[in-house]
Structure 1
Amino acid sequence: MSSTRPVPWVSPLLCLAVLVGGGYYALVDDGPSLRLAGFSALLLVLIGLDFLERHIPAPALLLVQVALYIAVNTLDDSGISRALIVLVPFTAYFTFGPRTAIVLGTGCVAALPLLFTLNIPNWQTNAERVSDVVMFALGVVLAITMAAVAVREREARVRLEATLREVETLSAAQERNRLAREIHDSLGHHLTAIAVQLEKATAFADLDPASARNAVGSARWSADRALTEVRHSVRALGRRPFRLTDTLTELIDHLNDDRLTISLDVTGDEDGRPLTPLHALYRAAQEALTNACRHSGATNVRLSLSYDESGASLTVTDDGRGFDLREGFGLRGMRERIEVLDGHFDLASTPAGTTISIRVPW
């Protein structure tokens, strides 16, 4: 059933229960009759109205339903159909809000004692009638409470869906930023290395053909490495286990030449450490080495890597000419990558060199 109400099944289910209970009572008491036929027909009309809810203005629908509830009660000798009256504040809650529902609910509860007073002398001394009033009042309270819970649940679901859409948007933006950093830190690093090696090959082509050939070989290695890392990124960073110390050693071996000496000191053991902080340190080292090769004019770069029980630390120091500490995309991406892990990133640069200190927790 298509409905604008959070719980569209309540009204038809209650009507069906009244139809079964009241019909059974009438058959046992009087047998088939026109009164029973009218009683049943009106309840079926009420059930049908719920299916037409979207096509009838809400105020008009409520007025029609109230009129039918009264008519059903008139034809019902069992008193079971009084339960339908609780649908008045229940339905009004969704259409007009909680205040109107409470007012109508109070009116319905007050109407039953008045009806008993007009039709049943001394009903106040009849325990069954007093119980009817109490149970009816309790039913109205429960109906309003159920409507309130249903409305709040629907509002919470709407807020949740909006939040999920916002999270999806933010996740997409975060993923774009991650990919941008990944391309810069990985592919950008290797392209820089290729450019440096090819520049070296050009410079030494006539003076030292052997060094030029080595530089071309290093450029070719960097190109292969870039292609491999692109494939690994597509395959969720590859399938083989990642070891930071081994990967840094391999990177340094291919960047070292007669103009730049890179050394690595390692303390502690990385075995069993989580991958994400180690990968972040590798990207940071890549960016630092790329900057040292491309911009700093350094002749010596020293990497100090240490592992302990609480995290890992990386310090990269070069003897280049330094810079003015304005962070480009690479350094900003490096800082953001570390801060996402609740790590610490510190950068210091003077005309005598640059030092980058990084700490990431496990």
Structure 2
Amino acid sequence: MKIIDGTIASPKGFYADGVHCGLKKKKKDIGWIYSEKKAQAAAVYTTNQVKGAPLLVTKEALGVAHQLQAVLVNSAVANTCTGETGIEDAYQMQRLAADKLGLENHQVAVASTGVIGKHLPMEKVTMGIEALSMKSGNAQNFHEAILTTDLVTKEICLSAMIGGKKVTMSGVAKGSGMIHPNMATMLSFITTDANIPYQLLEKLLKKKVDETFNQITVDGDTSTNDMVVVLANGCAENKEIVEDTPEYETFSQMLRMVTEDLAKKIARDGEGATKLIEVSVNHAATESDAKKIAKKIVGSSLVKSAMFGEDPNWGRIICAIGYSEGTFDPSLLDIFIGTQQVLQDGLPCDFHQTNMQKILAQDTVSIQVDLKVGTSQGVAWGCDLTYKYVEINACYHT
């Protein structure tokens, strides 16, 4: 398995494009992914009780046959809290794309991201769909079209041999603010030419999302439009992947690598962020405890602020552990910031101030917690909290 240069359209049989249709002032704002063959598909959605209209339409489409052949995405307007008009607009997006591609409506998923409570200007959306193409080499346009406050595109492409065939998997994501997935505004799309049934695809996606995307936080807000969609079109022509085989394990590792890489890139690109924070919790009583404690630490506004200020204030870390509701004994706790131990058996440690400042000045800061009460571990990722985050979100709507 190796990372290669590529785009969301690098797996065999996929195409992608993005254009500017006027939802944003200048930047690309609508795009699609198309598979020349029907693809087995699975998705994971936000647990927010308020859900965007496109998410509801996509969930309905996937329920028909667990197959998709296209995904249409717009940015700038979330199409959430828009009533029956919003639902009809999402259906119209689906119909327009299906008509142009010669597909059934239920073979097209739709997604939107942007400002909540605004209706889509459908005349602009229609023009955008008409302008989209299936030409090779346009996929980077899609990566750009799905962005909102993101500073960079987020993508990964890798390949591996499965059943004697070269299988390629690519992922792309957007997300910078309103990020606290529980399955941002966070959207992620994964394509692969592997031959795998949707039942296994769905099982693996849920597991990997729980291990990666659900373990990131920028600001503690779970979006109304969070969605991760994976399409597998079988164009690699490998023998269908069966559970509990070496081929299944390789595919599982590929999916984990893609989701973890994209999750970390989202955390690193958090609005106004200057640092990626990685928290590892070891020797927990349960995996659930480990993951919960790690996410509480990385989600703490005080921890995030300390990392921005390059302040080794471990008291904020132990405070977050304390209100996490995880099982632990304070008298056993060890805490490290980078390579410097700051707490041993629940008591403060002397540490080298110069070395600590070098650690905190890096663009990735790691925090390790040893609970010493079990054998489970968990990881979470986030970013620091900066003045720029407040500036971006104070003016987002205007």
Give your verdict on TM over 0.5.
no
Larger radius of gyration: 1
Tell which has more relative contact order, 1 or 2 (C-alpha 8 A, sep 6+).
Answer: 2
Identify the TM-score tier after normalising by the shorter chain.
under 0.3
Q: TM-score, normalised by structure 1?
A: 0.21
Q: Which has the higher helix share?
A: 1
